[in-house]
Chains A and B, each alone.
Chain A
Amino acid sequence: DTGVSQNPRHKITKRGQNVTFRCDPISEHNRLYWYRQTLGQGPEFLTYFQNEAQLEKSRLLSDRFSAERPKGSFSTLEIQRTEQGDSAMYLCASSLTGTSGVNEQFFGPGTRLTVL
């Protein structure tokens, strides 16, 4: 039983470059979430998918951010023209919607982005 995996685990980039992160959810989970966590804060919601449909995007998500889940399995989060303020831990989580209605999300280890 594999959990949620994220790649890369660490990314250092220069301001203005584009970066892409990948998330592989737990295989039978139909929902996939992206969050951002900065030091000393709780995770902040960015966006989520149910299967391949993107159902909600946070107002925090600027036009430089885009996420996809093309076949309803893995997802990618791309940040274009990175800024120093984008430095954070990017977390992915997945869940299975069921009759209980409880949204129990399982988190990956995160990708730490540092923008120089």
Chain B
Amino acid sequence: GNSVTQMEGPVTLSEEAFLTINCTYTATGYPSLFWYVQYPGEGLQLLLKATKADDKGSNKGFEATYRKETTSFHLEKGSVQVSDSAVYFCALSDPRGGKLIFGQGTELSVKP
């Protein structure tokens, strides 16, 4: 069945460091891919998305590229801020719509 695997956390970085959070997936067909973020005490928010191979999703300085050949959708940011501290979830949705399948989440902590 479809599944998503994320790198384990927590990840601790200093402010302005480069961030990569790895995400790989297993799916039949051509799923849409998403990154959601959960800030402390808040609900899940969509961060970015990509719907087909080689698409790049971007938002708030974060980027992720849909790589079909490596079945990956790694999240990157060039310079993290303290306010980026949160839990990040990678997810896929089958192309007909319907349920999202999430990874286990990666906690990011950014220190000043």
Chain A residues in contact with chain B, CB under 8 A? 31, 33, 35, 40-45, 48, 55-56, 58, 91, 93, 95, 97, 100-110
Asked if A48 contacts B99 (CB within 8 A), the reply is yes
Interchain CB contact under 8 A, B44 and A45: no
- B97 contact from A35, A93, A103, Cβ within 8 A: A103
- 3 cross-chain pairs, A with B, having the tightest CB-CB distances, nearest first: A42-B102, A45-B99, A107-B44
B97 touches A101 (CB 8 A): yes
Contact A42–B98 (Cβ < 8 Å): no
A97 and B105 form a contact (CB under 8 A)? no
8 intermolecular pairs with C-beta atoms under 8 Å apart: A33-B100, A100-B51, A101-B32, A103-B97, A103-B100, A104-B46, A105-B100, A107-B36
If A104-B49, A108-B43, A109-B43 touch, whether A40 touches B97 (CB-CB below 8 Å) is no
Tell me if B95 is interfacial: C-beta within 8 Å of chain A. Answer: yes
Would you call B89 and A42 a contact (CB within 8 A)? yes
Q: Provide the B73-90 mask, 1 if CB < 8 A to any CB of A, else 0.
A: 000000000000000010
Distance in angstroms between the alpha carbons of A40 and B91 in the assembled complex: 15
Q: Are A42 and B43 in contact (CB under 8 A)?
A: no
A101-B95 contact given A40-B105, A43-B100, CB 8 Å threshold: yes
A55 and B44 contacting across the interface, CB-CB below 8 Å: no
Contacts of A105 in B (CB 8 A): 46, 93, 100
Query: Which residues of chain A are near B45, meaning CB under 8 Å?
Result: 107
B100: chain A residues within 8 A (beta carbon): 33, 35, 43, 45, 93, 103, 105
Where the two chains meet, the residues of B that have a C-beta atom closer than 8 Å to any C-beta of A are: 4, 32, 34, 36, 42-46, 49, 51, 89, 91, 93, 95, 97-105
Answer whether A42 and B97 are a contact pair too, CB < 8 Å, given A106-B46, A107-B43: no
- Out of B51, B89, B101, B105, which one reaches A45, CB within 8 Å? B101
CB contacts (< 8 Å) of A55 on chain B: these are: 98
Q: Which residue of A lies closest to B43 (CB)?
A: A109
Docked CA distance A39–B62 (Å)? 25
Whether A42 pairs with B103 at a CB distance below 8 angstroms is yes
B99 to chain A: closest residue by CB: A45
